[in-house]
């Protein structure tokens, strides 16, 4: 019963679902337009079905319904009713004779009608069953496909896993291969420095190798790299042995360079010597000294630049460069030393009595030598060295050796002063300061020579101050005061009367000198001048240079009287001022102050002696006026020197201590 109720429920659900197959809204199995048209035709055909001909004719229908005989030959075979009746078995032979036959026939017709009415549903069911079979078949195929896909997926996973493992293994092998390649390259690079030893050794052992070959400088650079690398990595096996062998190769290469450079320099020196012997006495001797060397300079400078570039890499380079410097300077000194000495000796013999001309020509010659040597050195080398200054200083020492004996025998103060001016102004200021780098060695020798001349000048000045100023013996005309002044006034009056033009406010030095000469002639002052000084004293003006004192006095003295001219000064005053004017630019300020104080003190002592002589001849007042006049002259004339002439004396008074000791 339960199964029956369940089947009824299922049939009810099916009917409900079938009722929704052709619903207006959301049909489960909507019919197409063609299907709907066919359904309408079938419906109309079933509604218009004719009455069967084998039905019994009733009384009430016989008059109404026409009897159609099946045996009528006019019945068309194509009549659908005929066909239907033929299909149901009712033919001319079969007739419905009773109600039972009718009911059985009617039951058959109903069953047929039901079948016909259920035919769309049955056909639809059959179609659905066919579709279901197809779906089942598709499902089976899909299931089989899914199984195949699952197998493929599993196979893909297996293959992918194996492929990834293979890929990782390949990547690992590639990384390992790369690491091994890098390691091999690193080892090869490291070994290349060690392997270069045989190649370099074979090149250095080749008899055809010269330092001028294009491969020599790259080989030198390669040696430096190998030595630097081995020094930086002392942990490698046998690095010390290879370093020693590389240094031996470097020493061989540097010795080749050294031999090549020394050979060039020595050959050039020998060639110049031979040429000089054949052209001795020519004016082009010094041109020959430099021309031959300059021709070989490019062959040497390229090698020297390589050495100078590498002096910080290895001490061997510095040593070879020093050897090349030493060879160059020795060859130059060997070549120039005798020539310079002979030239300076010739100049000394030519200017045997003219020390100033000798100094000028000798110093000018050495200036040219120093400048030419410096330029020639730069043709061979790029970096300056102290050895160049040492060589030039030795060459300039020839000038000093020739002048030194002459300087120590010069007694003339004017000559010594002029020599000092030549060295300080013409040489140091005009030449050395304009080119200090090239003339550094010349400056050292000149300063030494200047110190010797200044020392000699100071010594001769002390002697002169003591002999010609402090120990001056006054002549009769020197003490003729005030007669000399009165005579000068009378001469001035006579000159004024004889002049045609109006007297100007300034007098010329020629008038002053002629007046002084006349006074000297009249008064008999014949020893006013000394052998070592000029007749006209000079004073130093720091702003304008040397200047004539007479003209200066004429322009600065308010009373323009001939009695105030320097020719009327006491001789020691003139000598003192001239001496100070000569020393002002020749010696340093400290020494000048000491000498000036010594000279002024000696001059004042000589004035005191002269004052005493005038006081004996005339009156004390004349002596005092003489003293005051010359002290004022000294004060006025020493002002431009800007020196401290004051003397500070310190004394101790022990008289009280003596009395105290007596009391004790």
For the four alpha carbons of 571, 573, 576 and 577, in that order, the dihedral sign comes to negative
Judge whether 103 lies within some domain.
no
Same domain, 341 and 451: yes
Tell me how far CA of residue 522 lies from CA of 476, 533, 536, 607, 623, in angstroms: 12, 23, 19, 22, 22
Judge whether 361 lies within some domain.
yes
Last residue of a domain, one of 430, 446, 468: 468
Where does residue 230 rank: exposed (0-12), middle (13-18), buried (19+ CB within 10 A)?
A: buried
Tokens (6 digits) for 185: 């390259």
Same domain, 347 and 448: yes
Same domain, 429 and 561: no
Judge whether 63 lies within some domain.
no
Same domain, 549 and 436: no
Last residue of a domain, one of 412, 435, 468: 468
In angstroms, rounded to a whole number, what is the distance separating the alpha carbons of residues 368 and 103?
165
Helices (H) and strands (E) in the chain, counts: 20, 2
Judge whether 609 lies within some domain.
yes
Instruction: Tell which wins on pLDDT, 259 or 19.
Output: 259
Give per-residue pLDDT as tens, 74-94.
444 555 555 555 555 555 455
The percentage of residues in the chain with a pLDDT greater than 90, rounded to a whole number, is 12
What is the predicted pLDDT for the residue at 238? 82
Judge whether 398 lies within some domain.
yes
The whole-model pTM stands at 0.61
Same domain, 583 and 446: no
What is the predicted pLDDT for the residue at 656? 61
Instruction: Tell which wins on pLDDT, 415 or 11.
Output: 415
Same domain, 464 and 354: yes
Judge whether 47 lies within some domain.
no
- Residue 338 pLDDT exceeds 50: yes
Mean pLDDT, to the nearest integer, of 609-638?
89
Mean pLDDT, to the nearest integer, of 494-522?
50
**Are 477 and 525 within 8 A, CB to CB?**
yes
Judge whether 132 lies within some domain.
no
Same domain, 463 and 558: no
Same domain, 418 and 301: yes
Last residue of a domain, one of 444, 468, 492: 468
- Residue 301 pLDDT exceeds 80: yes
- Residue 364 pLDDT exceeds 80: yes
Same domain, 456 and 604: no
* Total count of domains within the chain: 2
The domain of 560 spans 542-641
What is the predicted pLDDT for the residue at 556? 38
Give per-residue pLDDT as tens, 16-47.
766 666 666 777 667 777 877 777 777 777 66
- Residue 260 pLDDT exceeds 50: yes
Tokens (6 digits) for 238: 């046998």
Mean pLDDT of the chain: 77
What is the predicted pLDDT for the residue at 513? 43
Judge whether 202 lies within some domain.
no
Give per-residue pLDDT as tens, 263-275.
988 888 888 887 7
Mean pLDDT, to the nearest integer, of 180-199?
85
Where does 75-98 have alpha helices with state H?
80-88
- Residue 67 pLDDT exceeds 50: no
What is the predicted pLDDT for the residue at 658? 58
Same domain, 459 and 586: no
The percentage of residues in the chain with a pLDDT greater than 70, rounded to a whole number, is 73
Give per-residue pLDDT as tens, 420-446.
989 888 888 888 888 888 888 889 999
Q: How confident is the model at residue 211 (pLDDT cuts 50, 70, 90)?
A: confident
Same domain, 301 and 402: yes
| Residue 165: count of CB within 10 angstroms of its CB | 10
What is the predicted pLDDT for the residue at 70? 43
Same domain, 454 and 549: no
Give per-residue pLDDT as tens, 132-186.
888 888 888 888 889 999 999 999 999 999 999 999 999 999 999 999 999 888 8
Give per-residue pLDDT as tens, 537-593.
333 333 323 333 333 333 333 344 555 566 678 899 999 998 888 888 888 888 888
Which of the 8 DSSP states describes residue 411?
A: -
């Amino acid at each position: 019963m339960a199964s029956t109720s369940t089947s009824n429920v299922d049939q009810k659900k099916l009917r409900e679902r079938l009722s929704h197959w052709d619903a207006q809204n959301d049909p489960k199995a909507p019919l197409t337009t063609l299907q709907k048209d066919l359904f309408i035709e079938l419906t109309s055909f079933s509604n218009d079905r004719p009455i069967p001909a084998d039905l019994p004719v009733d009384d009430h229908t016989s008059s109404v319904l026409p009897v159609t005989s099946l045996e009528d030959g006019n019945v068309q075979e194509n009549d659908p009713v005929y066909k239907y009746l033929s299909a149901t078995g009712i033919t001319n032979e079969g007739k419905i004779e009773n109600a039972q036959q009718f009911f059985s026939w009617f039951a058959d017709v109903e069953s047929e009608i039901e079948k016909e009415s259920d035919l769309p549903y049955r056909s639809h069911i059959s179609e659905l069953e066919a579709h279901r079979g197809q779906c089942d078949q598709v499902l089976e195929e899909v299931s089989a496909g899914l199984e195949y896909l699952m197998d493929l997926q599993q196979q893909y996973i297996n293959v992918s896993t194996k492929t990834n493992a293979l890929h990782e293994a390949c990547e690992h092998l590639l990384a390992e291969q790369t690491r091994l390649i890098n390691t091999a390259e690193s080892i090869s690079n490291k070994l290349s420095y060690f392997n270069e030893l045989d190649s370099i050794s074979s090149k250095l052992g080749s008899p055809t190798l010269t330092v001028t070959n294009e491969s020599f400088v790259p080989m030198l650079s390669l040696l430096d790299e190998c030595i630097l690398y081995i020094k930086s990595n002392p942990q490698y096996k046998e690095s010390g042995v290879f370093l020693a062998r590389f240094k031996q190769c470097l020493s061989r290469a540097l010795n080749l360079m050294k031999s090549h450079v020394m050979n060039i320099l020595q050959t050039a020196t020998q060639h110049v010597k031979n040429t000089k012997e054949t052209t001795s006495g020519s004016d082009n001797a010094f041109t020959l000294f430099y021309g031959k060397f300059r021709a070989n300079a490019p062959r040497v400078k390229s090698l020297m630049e390589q050495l100078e570039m590498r002096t910080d890499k290895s001490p061997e380079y510095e040593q070879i460069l020093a050897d090349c410097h030493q060879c160059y300077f020795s060859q130059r000194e060997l070549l120039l030393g005798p020539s310079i000495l002979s030239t300076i000796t010739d100049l000394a013999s030519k200017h045997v009595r003219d020390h100033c001309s000798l100094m000028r020509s000798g110093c000018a010659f050495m200036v040219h030598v120093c400048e030419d040597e410096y330029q020639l050195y730069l043709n061979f080398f790029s970096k300056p060295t102290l050895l160049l200054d040492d060589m030039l200083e030795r060459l300039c020492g020839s000038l000093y050796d020739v002048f030194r004996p002459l300087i120590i025998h010069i007694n003339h103060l004017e000559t010594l002063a002029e020599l000092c001016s030549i060295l300080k102004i013409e040489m140091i200021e005009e030449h050395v300061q304009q080119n200090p780098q090239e003339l550094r060695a010349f400056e050292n020798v000149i300063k030494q020579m200047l110190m010797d001349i200044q020392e000699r000048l100071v010594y001769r000045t002390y002697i002169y101050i003591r002999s010609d100023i402090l120990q001056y013996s006054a002549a009769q005309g020197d003490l003729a005061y005030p007669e000399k002044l009165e005579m000068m006034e009378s001469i001035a009056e006579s000159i004024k009367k004889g002049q045609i033009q109006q007297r100007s406010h300034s007098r010329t030095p020629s008038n002053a000198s002629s007046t002084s000469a006349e006074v000297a002639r009249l008064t008999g002052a014949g020893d006013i001048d000394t052998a070592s000084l000029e007749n006209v004293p000079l004073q130093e003006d720091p702003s304008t240079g040397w200047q004539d004192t007479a003209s200066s006095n004429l322009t600065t003295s308010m009373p323009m009287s001939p009695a105030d001219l320097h020719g009327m000064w006491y001789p020691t005053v003139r000598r003192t001022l001239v001496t100070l004017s000569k020393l002002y630019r020749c010696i340093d300020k400290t020494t000048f102050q000491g000498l000036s104080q010594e000279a002024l003190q000696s001059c004042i002592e000589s004035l005191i002696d002269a004052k005493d002589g005038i006081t004996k001849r005339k009156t004390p007042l004349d002596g005092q006026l003489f003293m005051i006049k010359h002290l004022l002259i000294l004060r006025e004339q020493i002002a431009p020197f800007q020196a401290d002439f004051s003397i500070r004396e310190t004394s101790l008074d022990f008289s009280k201590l003596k009395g105290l000791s007596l009391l004790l």
